[in-house]
A and B are shown apart, each in its own frame.
Chain A
Amino acid sequence: MTRILAQEDPLIRMQRDLKRALSGDPENVRWIMIIDRAKCVGCNACTIACVAENKLPPGVVYRPVISEEIGEYPNVHLRFMPRPCMQCQNAPCIKVCPVKATYKDPQGVTVVDYNKCIGCRYCLTACPYGARTSDFGEWYTAKTPDLPGALVSREGAAKGYELHPAAEYGRTWPERGRGKSPIGNARKCHFCRHRLVVGMLPACVTSCIGRATYFGNGRDPDALVRELLGTPRVTRLKEEFNTQPSVYYLM
């Protein structure tokens, strides 16, 4: 008879790690993420959780999951690679921004000042991971019939979701509309900074059904992420570009 040993859910451990990081010296915090590709089942829950959390419009995505098909029939396998922003420590997107609209926060997260960004998209081309998307001002409700006053009209539908201000970067952004940031801006994953500051893990981490995404303070020797960094399966994407990503993959 098999017996399953009791094991702590990694989310509980990471939550504890997060609490410890927030209670310590902020200067001693460097957020890192580790994605176990062997555990990722390609459910896209993280992608959707991120879209919902950050109220992303159509065509803007922070964490797509890339599927790879390996082998030939009958020996075929699928492999998945969630691709958030790598939060590079030597970030090419920061260097090319002509107006200093993108920069590092003290915890190593690359952030965008939406009210400064001119929308030149140089950062989009500078990122070798394709991790930035531009907000072209698309609306999910663009083709919803417009019936003023009706409950399910374009406006009503938009108010139900799209017009809600996103809480990105810990700010309440003005109601989405023409010419207002973040429309026209470069947008990217920011490790859900607004959640971190209130003690919540990023949406992609909590929504991962396979517990394939780990998050924590890379400077905390007791954190789960530090434990995982010690495994021989650790790798980073496109290391040859010397971008020094803060996102690691377990192969």
Chain B
Amino acid sequence: MPKKSSTGLLILSLLGMLAGAWGVIEALIYGLHATALGSYTPWGLGVILYLFFLGLSAGGFLVTILVYIFGQKQYDALSPLAAWLVLVTEICAVVPINLDLGHWERTYQFVTSPNFLSPMTWMFVFFGALFVIYALKALAYIRGKETWLRPLSLLSLPVGLMFYGINGYFFAILVGYTIWNSPLTPLMFIVAALLSGGALLTFLTWVFHRNTDLVRGLGRAVLLLLFIYVGLEALNYFVGYRGNRVEATKALNLMLFGSNWGVFWFMHVMIGTLIPIFLLLKYGQDGRITAWSCLLIALAFMAVRIDFVLPAQYVGMLQGLDKAFVHERLQLSYDPNLGEWLVGVFVTSLGLFGFVIGPKVAPALFAKKEGEAHV
């Protein structure tokens, strides 16, 4: 990365963290009171940010799949960068989700009193396991412990599959939300994670390696994943509408034609799907365009997470419940407040900071391998 850009981004990330710190401090002091959440829309921007960043972390998973399942050894050159990607994005994911707890100071209860029937417990276990695996991988690259790499990579395959699948399973078992309660949800989460994480990794490959061959190859993988994801998504909507359950059609209508229709049509369909597909199909040989198209996919994936989390909750569990006892915390709507957005600014800036300082604190993870093809 050019020094000028690096310094500019560093300043931007520091300013972002400084501004966002207000939201973080407010959340730490006032807890749930500082949010615009309610009991009938209990999950908001904290959960959305968590899902967004955990999806981005799957770039590491994609590289391991390409190398160890598809035998594409050339992508192994990206494994160190992918390890850093996982560490940074997992840290970005853990901040908003921990602040989203009513009692974040009791997080230790996950260890002292785990309920192994709960998908959240397993999410915690696999989240931690994945973090440890990639931290060890990063350490192995830094210390030159090559013998650690293969077992760790192989271990990351089932752990990654379980982790990204369990995040979908987490929602899929919630019977009250028809559009979450589908066997397709865990599968969609795995594909979504690979897609958004792969897209971010493609961009980072361009930024740190300037390797057109690898970027082109990853771009093709991302395009394929995008087609698969859009297909699954269309299937979900089609079944939802044709199944004609009131709760499902209501949630889908809210997503596609409700007050936040722009999130779906503009952010997801236009910026995150149609434009990148066009660019990747037409200019897929161009490393720069491929990288920037993938960045569009990765960033616009926020829209997918918003549309997954919110509209489903806007359909009440029982008709008329929100009118039975009226209070602003008992509404079927949610608009994040400034403090919540500032937490978003903080973690996004933290992620940017992580990638800007990465080459300085862990140069071994960003170094190009000898013999690696360049532009």
Q: Which A residues are closer than 8 A to B by beta carbons?
A: 47, 58-61, 64-68, 81, 83, 92, 95-101, 116-122, 124-130, 132-138, 178-179, 181, 183-186, 237, 241
A66–B101 contact, CB under 8 A?
no
Tally chain B residues at the interface, Cβ within 8 Å.
49
Partner of A96, one of B101, B103, B118, B330: B118
B39–A98 contact, CB under 8 A?
no
B31–A138 contact, CB under 8 A?
no
Ordered by A's residue number, 28 sampled pairs between the chains whose C-beta atoms are within 8 Å are A59-B327, A61-B324, A64-B324, A67-B320, A81-B318, A96-B117, A118-B110, A119-B103, A120-B100, A120-B120, A124-B39, A124-B42, A125-B176, A125-B313, A126-B173, A127-B317, A128-B175, A130-B317, A133-B39, A134-B39, A134-B329, A135-B102, A136-B37, A137-B33, A138-B327, A178-B29, A179-B103, A185-B103
Partner of A119, one of B30, B101, B110, B320: B101
- Complex Cα distance A155/B30, Å? 19
- Complex Cα distance A66/B29, Å? 35
Partner of A66, one of B40, B173, B174, B321: B321
A136 with B120: in contact, given A59-B329, A128-B175, A130-B321 (CB under 8 Å)? no
**A residues within 8 A CB of B121?**
98
A137 with B118: in contact, given A116-B106, A129-B318, A184-B102 (CB under 8 Å)? no
Q: Mark B172-207, 1 if CB is under 8 A from A, else 0.
A: 011111000000000000000000000000000000
**Segment 286-328 of B: residues with Cβ below 8 Å from A:** 313, 316-321, 323-325, 327-328
> B259 on the interface (CB 8 Å rule)?
no
- Complex Cα distance A216/B321, Å? 26
- Complex Cα distance A98/B325, Å? 29
Partner of A178, one of B30, B119, B319, B329: B30
Nearest 9 CB-CB pairs, A to B?
A: A119-B102, A184-B102, A59-B329, A130-B317, A64-B324, A133-B39, A98-B120, A99-B109, A128-B176
> B72 on the interface (CB 8 Å rule)?
no
- Complex Cα distance A51/B106, Å? 27
> B124 on the interface (CB 8 Å rule)?
yes
Partner of A116, one of B113, B119, B316: B113
B120–A122 contact, CB under 8 A?
yes
Partner of A64, one of B38, B100, B321: B321
Closest to B42 in A: A121
- Complex Cα distance A245/B121, Å? 26
Q: Mark B57-76, 1 if CB is under 8 A from A, else 0.
A: 00000000000000000000
- Complex Cα distance A167/B40, Å? 26
B102–A120 contact, CB under 8 A?
yes
Q: Which B residues are closer than 8 A to A by beta carbons?
A: 29-33, 35, 37-40, 42-43, 100-104, 106-107, 109-110, 113-115, 117-121, 124, 173-177, 313, 316-321, 323-325, 327-330
New A-B pairs, 5, CB < 8 Å, besides A59-B328, A117-B106: A59-B329, A68-B319, A92-B175, A99-B109, A136-B329
A101 with B102: in contact, given A136-B32, A137-B32 (CB under 8 Å)? no
A138–B33 contact, CB under 8 A?
yes
B118 CB → nearest A CB, Å: 4
**B residues within 8 A CB of A116?**
106, 109, 113
B117–A95 contact, CB under 8 A?
yes
- A contact patch SS: loop
**A residues within 8 A CB of B109?**
98-99, 101, 116, 118
B43–A125 contact, CB under 8 A?
yes
A98–B124 contact, CB under 8 A?
yes
A59 with B318: in contact, given A116-B106, A118-B103, A125-B174 (CB under 8 Å)? no
Closest to A62 in B: B325
Partner of A125, one of B30, B42, B101: B42
- Complex Cα distance A136/B327, Å? 12
A96 with B119: in contact, given A64-B325, A120-B102, A184-B102 (CB under 8 Å)? yes
A80 CB → nearest B CB, Å: 9
- Complex Cα distance A81/B317, Å? 14
Partner of A133, one of B35, B100, B319, B330: B330
**A residues within 8 A CB of B35?**
136
Partner of A126, one of B31, B102, B176, B318: B176
A95–B330 contact, CB under 8 A?
no
- Complex Cα distance A121/B115, Å? 15
B318–A61 contact, CB under 8 A?
no
**B residues within 8 A CB of A121?**
42-43, 102
A185–B318 contact, CB under 8 A?
no
Q: Which of A60, A120, A184 has the most CB of B within 10 A?
A: A120
B323–A47 contact, CB under 8 A?
no
- Complex Cα distance A100/B104, Å? 16
- Complex Cα distance A129/B166, Å? 24
**B residues within 8 A CB of A68?**
319-320
A217 CB → nearest B CB, Å: 27
- Complex Cα distance A101/B42, Å? 18
- Complex Cα distance A188/B310, Å? 23
- Complex Cα distance A68/B323, Å? 10
A183–B31 contact, CB under 8 A?
yes
Closest to A69 in B: B320
B324–A83 contact, CB under 8 A?
yes
**B residues within 8 A CB of A126?**
173-174, 176
B246 CB → nearest A CB, Å: 13
Partner of B103, one of A60, A81, A181: A181
- Complex Cα distance A178/B33, Å? 9
